[in-house]
């Protein structure tokens, strides 16, 4: 069965359990071509599980995942062919060098060797990995590992990108370079699903937003719908948060900002 919706990537009623724990409950969402969709949620909301399902590392208990119209269960190779993934825990080969890692991903993705070499050279330069490209990955710092994983997700020039906390542990300059690369991919028609705990980064970059809470979708809409929902949730309160923060705290529950911690200095009456 093919998906004829035209979405770059689409989930249809995806459910995933780990024993008694329901990690995803009938999750449906779509990533249109040329659109960056921000996935947000508290710790344990199911974001990483969803990303792993989309990237084929976990099989859903029910529901379907489509990538460029291909059913990921029925046509796994076709679904993966144009999919680039950088997950929260990068799946890198520790004993390979950075160069070997990128060349391997390019080869598996069917990229011609000359094209792959040019991309590896350019990506390693842009992400400041050139000096360490011929060192084994097990000697990389956390930030370098994240940038290498991001470069690996781009080396096949995928039409669908799935990025789980891609900016975590990356320096400010690296984050800016990554955001520019993503904007270039989006402008070229790629569909991007990206998660981050830093709401401001998602708010700045994305034009569509999905809020996941305890495995269920609480909100799914574009920026206009997000702004309207924020107004509903903060009506009459003079709320100065960004729209995404207002919807997040309004639906998930805000922090007890007015409560002092009595056990810490300044917390007494």
Question: Where are the alpha helices (H) located in 112-222, listed in sequence order?
Answer: 113-126, 142-154, 172-187, 199-205
Residues 149, 256: Cα–Cα separation, whole Å: 36
Q: Tell me which architecture the domain covering 9-222 has in CATH.
A: 3-Layer(aba) Sandwich (3.40)
pTM for this prediction: 0.90
H helix and E strand count, the chain: 9, 10
Tell me: the pLDDT tens digits for 66-98?
A: 999 999 999 988 888 889 999 887 778 888 999
Residues ≥6 apart with Cβ < 8 Å to 85: 51, 54, 55, 153, 161, 162, 163
pLDDT tens readout for residues 244-269: 988 998 898 766 555 676 767 867 65
Determine which helix (DSSP H) or strand (DSSP E) holds 19, and give its type and residue range: none
Tokens of 105: 């991903």
């Amino acid at each position: 069965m093919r998906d004829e919706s035209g979405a770059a990537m689409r989930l249809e009623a995806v459910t995933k359990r780990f024993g008694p724990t329901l990690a995803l409950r009938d999750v449906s969402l779509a990533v249109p071509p040329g659109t960056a969709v921000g996935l947000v949620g508290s710790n344990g909301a199911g974001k990483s599980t969803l990303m792993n399902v989309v990237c084929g590392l976990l099989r859903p208990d029910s529901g379907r995942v489509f990538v460029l119209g291909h059913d990921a269960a029925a046509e796994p190779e076709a679904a993966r062919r144009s999919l680039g993934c950088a997950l929260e825990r990068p799946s890198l080969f520790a004993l390979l060098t950075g160069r070997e890692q990128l060349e391997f991903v390019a080869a598996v993705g069917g990229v011609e060797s000359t094209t792959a070499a040019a991309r590896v050279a350019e990506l390693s330069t842009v992400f400041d990995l050139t000096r360490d490209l011929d060192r084994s990955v097990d000697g990389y710092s956390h930030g370098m590992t994240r940038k290498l994983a991001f470069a690996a997700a781009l080396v096949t020039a995928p039409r669908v990108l799935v990025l789980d906390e891609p900016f975590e542990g990356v320096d400010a300059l690296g984050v800016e370079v990554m955001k520019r690369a993503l904007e270039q991919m989006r402008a070229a028609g790629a569909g991007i699903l990206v998660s981050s705990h830093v709401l401001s980064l998602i708010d700045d970059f994305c034009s569509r937003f999905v809020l996941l809470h305890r495995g269920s979708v609480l909100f799914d809409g574009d920026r206009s719908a997000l702004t309207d929902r924020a107004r509903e949730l903060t009506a009459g309160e003079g709320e100065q948060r960004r729209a995404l923060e207002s919807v997040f705290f309004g639906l998930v529950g805000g922090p007890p900002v007015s409560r002092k911690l009595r056990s810490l200095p300044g917390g007494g009456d």
